[in-house]
Amino acid sequence: MSRYLDMVDSPIHVKKLTEPQLQQLAGEIRDELIRVLAKNGGHLGPNLGVVELTLALHRVFETPKDKFVWDVSHQCYVHKLLTGRKERFHTIRTTNGLNGFALRTESEHDCYGAGHAGTALSAALGMCAARDQRKSDEHVVCVFGDAALTNGVSFEALNNISTTTKKFIGILNDNEWSIAKNVGAIATYLGKLTTDRRYNKLAHDFAQWLRRLPKGDWALKLGHKAEEFLKGAMTDISLEQAPSGPGTDGRGGYGSAILFEEMGIRYLGPIDGHDLPLLIRTLEFAKTFEEPIVIRTSWATPW
């Protein structure tokens, strides 16, 4: 039986497949990752976690014109498989083989090379600023994890995004596939959002409702407005139930705005990072959105 993976030699081929075919391709990619990395070693977990996300990115955007900036970049193996490096994938992390990270000299589809640096948000912002200066229309998408938010340079970028550009797309890839357990206030803050039972129920109900909407920008804009309402309702509940004390906002909480929204960046999520149709529709919305936006993907493992 032929594989769709055998037919995909560039991102153009991803755009030609139907969504059911892309779902089958996702399974084939996971099989290929396991087969090769069982022999070579490498970053298996992070790449298993971004299969649908990478397919959705290549379905919606067009590299190398559009730019994907991967923080750490150890999760770009799927990207390599889809961008003309499939036949060499068995050489990854071997002498003279494919690099285990994004590498500009390896492919025109790799616009930035960084390993364990936490510099992706700043690099992506620089690309956006340069694009705006020359008045071109390429999109810049930054994929970063919650561990990247422990870097001062990441916060410097977040502090400047809304005053520098109106077109910035960030993906907060919160898939719990870190090499080690994340620590600190940021990880704790994001963990509270992920594990809050009431918020998760609201987010799940919202995603189910969004799936039933007809396709189109107006539907996603309506969905975004509805999500804003849900987030507001959720944080209001948290404020009412939180104890009063020093450092609070006087209503018993620490403010109803989410971290990114306080910095002038719209926030969507968390959405199911394995729901390929939902990812595609959300990215299509982000592509046309005229404000900086961060989409948070979070999930339970489907395999």
pLDDT per residue as tens digits for the range 164-197: 999 999 999 876 555 555 555 555 555 555 545 5
* Residue-range domain boundaries for the chain: 4-298
Token pair listed for 297: 């993907």
Token pair listed for 132: 């705006």
Beta carbons of 26 and 276 less than 8 angstroms apart: yes
> Which of 264-277 are b and which e, b meaning 16 or more Cβ less than 10 Å from the residue's Cβ?
ebbbbbbbbbbbbe
Site of tokens 């008045």: 135
Confidence class of residue 30 from pLDDT cuts 50, 70 and 90?
very high
Beta carbons of 31 and 48 less than 8 angstroms apart: no
| Over residues 105-128, mean pLDDT | 90
Cα atoms in the Cβ-side hemisphere of radius 13 Å centred on 232? 6
CATH architecture of 4-298: 3-Layer(aba) Sandwich (3.40)
pLDDT of residue 33 exceeding 90: yes
The amino acid present at 52, given as its one-letter code, is: E
Q: By mean pLDDT, which of 96-110, 121-135, 187-201 is the weakest? A: 187-201
Q: What does the alpha-carbon distance between residue 203 and residue 194 come to, in Å, rounded to a whole number?
A: 10
Per-residue model confidence (pLDDT) at position 145 = 82
Q: In terms of Cα–Cα distance, which of 200, 146, 201 is closest to 171?
A: 146
Which sign does the torsion angle of CA 82, 83, 85, 90 carry? Answer: negative
Give the 3-state secondary structure of residue 164.
Answer: helix
| Over residues 107-126, mean pLDDT | 88
Beta carbons of 161 and 142 less than 8 angstroms apart: no
* pTM > 0.85: yes or no: no
Residue 144: strand pairing partners:
172
pLDDT of residue 233 exceeding 50: no
